[in-house]
Structure 1
């Protein structure tokens, strides 16, 4: 009886085993048909970042969905590989994709813990799950994972699998793969990691957020200790090495987004171009390398110049009052939150921060910034007028026109750090976020390459790029285009025009008769005035007379040649800058003058290369040695001569007078040859300064997005030129001072100031004027022959 029972049990066991085996075989055959082919892993092409580079090769932006930078296994330190193997799959080099011992051990631990505390997946299985399967936690997926892992081990080498694993794995804070993680946490390349750093990275895969060195350094250290212990157990390092690594002080470098704030307006223009021409998939996952024309130093100086200028303009308009007033509880929460955000960050001079007013007297305001105490001396807030600190709960009151500012305790103020004292008390100055906006664009007139572009005060606040998207009235900054057109129509720098009142009668659409009486900014007329003086001092009436004489259509077509594409008014108001255009358009036009009459299309990008090193776009034909393919593009600049070198030089020389003797006087501080022109609209809604040296053109604009006057006397000279000067003073430091090149044939003659005719050199009233070949006056000015001023546009133009 017992024998029969034993035999029955054996047969039953064999039957059950056979059934299980047949079931597994059937399941394998069924599932295997649905599995992806592991052969696809041989051509591993994960999503990788697109990098944007400045002119000098520095990274200025990155675009990605997964920040991954694949590196070959050969670049990875041996101890990094050993750390990951010890922590994640100690039998990696011995198994065939599945480690049954580890699976059993993990199962027992999970049963004992009453939940999942340890996984049994090998590194190979993790690669299979990551690259070939979904992350769902089901038995079917685990079964597929095991089959794929076994197949992968047959098809790929261990080194191939490590390459896939260590470049694919997520290690927290948008870092995929060990290279991105090394940059994220330690600001290093992977090959430069120490044993301690390798062990900390190897501790992250289990729970990257839980063991984040940024947020939970203590937990990260505990996990590092575990990894080092496993490395000792596996014989990779000695206990002494582990102890030494554990004691190494690690500095975690919170990775600042490489999309540099100062470059944001420029790089956003590049991003839009890439998305429009290559699509989102290639932009965010294709690993493009984009080389741009931006000079990072100039870009940072430009952004700083725009911000500082807007702050100064804002201060001239007065303090608008405190941002908000906090209750005692709100203040405590505000300061606690601020302290947490500041952390161990060092506060440095120049930082702009929010502060809470805690008290003060007539000569000093006392504030708190997180853990810091701050003092604002009278000199730091006197621009705001008289200030009185009142108890919390009393109403705040904005001053203005000498009236007293009332600031309750608990007021939130914007401040700038001026000095950090030894006792960590901060000396501050009062600031406020400007209400106006500004733009600055700079380009190389000889190549058309954009070196800097600022589209506003702060990209984080407003992504609208005013340098290329905002059309604004240029005011007198349009005048050099009109004067250049006049030079080509027979005018010379010595031509004398009468600055006298004129009246234009107009008929409205309804048939009503009106009169237009243009006037100069100074509200007076100057009589006989030379062409040079008229531009130097920006006389409106003379410019209108010149435009009427030359012809509006001629000037509009002339502006088109120079690169102005915006619609232009076909009436005499064009002389006053009544047609809106962008700062970049104006920069393009002025670049024609600076380049000697040649127009170049502004460019931002010099080369685009795909992940395989294939050049997709380039300005250099040498990058296409076998010719330009159907999926490639040669960026053609096609320089086009649009005005003569003589005209370009004459208008440049005239604008040198604007700087030397006229409204552009601030630019003299550069201490080198510079040409420029201010621009101000009649109602002071827009302020401009446009100017250049031979190697660089820059345009500065200031105005409100919702158009309104900038303030009393806020002209182009006062409101826009300071930003231009601040930028150019730094931008030209690396450029040798150059004279504007004088074309062959340019003539220099002594001229009588009153008549504009030739005069002997020894005449005390003479000055030397420049002329295009053959355009100098043919007659001499004699006292008895000097014409009297008459009410016409020019005096004897044919002889001038």
Structure 2
């Protein structure tokens, strides 16, 4: 923390020194001589797969339609000023107060806007690279000062709005307006203006086509800022937030499932080196994609049923698939949907995992003294007032081993296990394994037993689920997922290179024991009979309402998460994780690994306990009854022997009697005693 603060202090001092220099008129020494035009010719950038094959080429030409300031409504201008640079008309290119405020906001975790002014952003976008260095920031400030001296505020704002990148290859406010809404900029309302103003901070992440939820959240932030700085009233803000925006979707048909991967890489490239470099810089972009596996993944989509077309002309259900190399974190294949939109469900969709979340419970149990042979009881219980969950087969199975409970995806044993080991430990493990969407504090957190069945506040996304399950395949090592390996400019200079990150997050024994149990899922569990001819493990997941269905499975060499669901949260005709998702997974994994050597999971030296012999309570009751009967028989035999001896003794002591049959009738008590094996005592008086 001290180093970070030291760096920030040094940065501020440098900016202050530079600001003083600007005041003395040295800005022209740093400003480019060709401010009115750029001389470097545009060149397309190329994407390469893991084997060095060219797989995608960007369009070098921009979609840019310049407009004058009189064509840009005031509320459109104000939306950008409110979120990007509220003191635009007060500063002279560098907003020292804004920079200090941004620094404080960043340190406190409540950042609203960056420290760069609109003028500085124009300087950076028009004349500089996106490299993150103090030198570049100093140059940016000098150029900003020169721009302020040469142009009016309205001219600078006009250049900025015509220069800025809005994603999808669209540069400038007019081009963006036509692309997203199908209308000219002068016809934009407040809601639409705020939506566009939300985009430049991260053109793909806040793209309403790719991430509508985050786009809406930031749009409302822009509107709140407009109220804060007096540009609109609270009533206007409320009306703008309530507007249901109609987007222009005529150009959105992709029909290419791999475009989701390219869009994800494009966003990462823009974050690292800027949009201009991507679309005009002639970059060579090296990725982790395996083209053969990607083709196989696209072919596996044939298992996806077509139920209906929704109001956005998207066929439902949709799907996502992510395949990751467990040993490196490399993303080998990705499908983010059917290809009829731009929303990447593999990385951006946060969905309920159902029982696919259970392995996090069991691996935590393995860390805390349990084994696959540990026994737990499956019977009805009310875990909290009104919550009496059931198993999917609506049956109770009595005492079962943890292996049986996991492979058959029993709910009650899983909840009891979570209660035993502690919810906090399970959440901590899931987060260490790469799940970033869990809510571990607040009134609506995941710190409850429903979490053990996949009932989460937000949910999970397929990329993180694939990476998390990879931890089982590597015996506890988490490798952060990587899709972009390297960016090289046209001169051969490496602008960016990925730094693999891996660390142990689960002890090897616990990870291996969990894997060993998950192998049974594909043998005799919920995925029984769907093995792929080599050691493999996995888990099904289905939500109660059949809105989400999952299968996440892995071998030592490849981990793949498959999600199928309805974008509009409608039930999917009783679709389970063991049906369509498992079929897609099986098809993909079988073919993707067909040429790969067969490998086994590595046992770190842990003994696999045999399944316990479990006698259910009803069986024990029968055994107890049988034991009672046996004991009674033994007692009866003993009493009969005693009776014989007593009878013999009586006969020896009694006087001689006639051997003729007695005409005296035996009493009922005598007959009963004989039958019951009790001694027969004569009712005749005995002699002394």
Residues 45/647 of structure 1: CA separation in 2 closer, same or farther (3 Å cut): same
Residues 750/571 of structure 1: CA separation in 2 closer, same or farther (3 Å cut): closer
Is the 8 Å Cα contact of residues 685 and 708 (structure 1) preserved in structure 2?
yes
Is the 8 Å Cα contact of residues 389 and 411 (structure 2) preserved in structure 1?
yes
Q: Which residue of 2 aligns with 1:329?
A: none
How far has the Cα of 1:524 moved from its partner?
0.6
- Is 1:754 aligned to residue 614 of structure 2? yes
Q: Which residue of 2 aligns with 1:422?
A: none
Distance 1:590 1:651 in 2: 10
Match of residue 41, structure 2, among 18, 37, 46: 46
Match of residue 495, structure 1, among 357, 374, 382: 374
Q: Which residue of 1 aligns with 2:450?
A: 573
Q: Which residue of 2 aligns with 1:473?
A: 352
Residues 750/595 of structure 1: CA separation in 2 closer, same or farther (3 Å cut): closer
Q: Which residue of 2 aligns with 1:693?
A: 555
Matches within 5 A, 1:164-183: none
Q: Which residue of 1 aligns with 2:587?
A: 726
Unpaired stretches in structure 2, ≥5 consecutive residues: 1-31, 63-253, 440-445, 617-622, 625-688
Q: Which residue of 1 aligns with 2:330?
A: 449
Q: Which residue of 2 aligns with 1:682?
A: 544
Larger strand share, 1 or 2: 1
Matches within 5 A, 1:702-741: 702-712=564-574, 714-741=575-602
Is the 8 Å Cα contact of residues 287 and 611 (structure 1) preserved in structure 2?
yes
Q: Report the 3-state secondary structure (helix = DSSP H, G, I; strand = E; otherwise coil) of the residue aligned with 2:424.
A: helix
Q: Which residue of 2 aligns with 1:648?
A: 511
Is the 8 Å Cα contact of residues 599 and 641 (structure 1) preserved in structure 2?
yes
Residues 303/477 of structure 1: CA separation in 2 closer, same or farther (3 Å cut): same
Residues 662/751 of structure 1: CA separation in 2 closer, same or farther (3 Å cut): closer
Q: Which residue of 2 aligns with 1:596?
A: 475
Q: Which residue of 2 aligns with 1:264?
A: 259
- Is 1:64 aligned to residue 66 of structure 2? no
Q: Which residue of 2 aligns with 1:439?
A: 320
Distance 1:697 1:608 in 2: 26
Q: Which residue of 1 aligns with 2:169?
A: none
Q: Which structure carries more relative contact order (alpha carbon 8 Å, separation 6+)?
A: 2
Residues 671/614 of structure 1: CA separation in 2 closer, same or farther (3 Å cut): same
Distance 1:553 1:44 in 2: 58
Q: Deviations over 1:246-289 (max 9, x none)?
A: xxxxxxxxxxxxx9934211111001111222212111111110
Q: Report the 3-state secondary structure (helix = DSSP H, G, I; strand = E; otherwise coil) of the residue aligned with 1:453.
A: strand
Give the number of equivalent residue pairs.
386
Distance 1:751 1:655 in 2: 15
Q: Deviations over 1:344-401 (max 9, x none)?
A: xxxxxxxxxxxxxxxxxxxxxxxxxxxxxxxxxxxxxxxxxxxxxxxxxxxxxxxxxx
Q: Deviations over 1:525-557 (max 9, x none)?
A: 100100000001000011010011111111111
Is the 8 Å Cα contact of residues 273 and 495 (structure 2) preserved in structure 1?
no
Q: Deviations over 1:626-669 (max 9, x none)?
A: xxxxxxxxx2223100111111111111000111111122531x
Q: Which residue of 1 aligns with 2:496?
A: 617
Distance 2:592 2:398 in 1: 40
Is the 8 Å Cα contact of residues 49 and 284 (structure 1) preserved in structure 2?
yes
Q: Deviations over 1:13-58 (max 9, x none)?
A: xxxxxxxxxxxxxxxxxxxxxxx999xxxx9842111101111112
Q: Which aligned segments of 4 or more residues in structure 1 are displaced greater than 6 angstroms?
A: none
Is the 8 Å Cα contact of residues 484 and 651 (structure 1) preserved in structure 2?
yes
How far has the Cα of 1:467 moved from its partner?
0.6
Distance 2:578 2:315 in 1: 19
How far has the Cα of 1:733 moved from its partner?
1.3
Q: Report the 3-state secondary structure (helix = DSSP H, G, I; strand = E; otherwise coil) of the residue aligned with 2:394.
A: coil
TM-score of the two chains, using structure 2 as the length reference: 0.53
Matches within 5 A, 1:506-655: 506=385, 515-568=386-439, 569-579=446-456, 580-618=459-497, 635-655=498-518
Unpaired stretches in structure 1, ≥5 consecutive residues: 1-35, 68-258, 324-431, 507-514, 619-634, 757-782, 785-800
Q: Report the 3-state secondary structure (helix = DSSP H, G, I; strand = E; otherwise coil) of the residue aligned with 1:516.
A: coil
Q: Deviations over 1:172-216 (max 9, x none)?
A: xxxxxxxxxxxxxxxxxxxxxxxxxxxxxxxxxxxxxxxxxxxxx
TM-score of the two chains, using structure 1 as the length reference: 0.46
Distance 1:560 1:37 in 2: 52
Matches within 5 A, 1:73-92: none
Is the 8 Å Cα contact of residues 257 and 336 (structure 2) preserved in structure 1?
no
Q: Which residue of 2 aligns with 1:412?
A: none
Q: Report the 3-state secondary structure (helix = DSSP H, G, I; strand = E; otherwise coil) of the residue aligned with 1:723.
A: helix
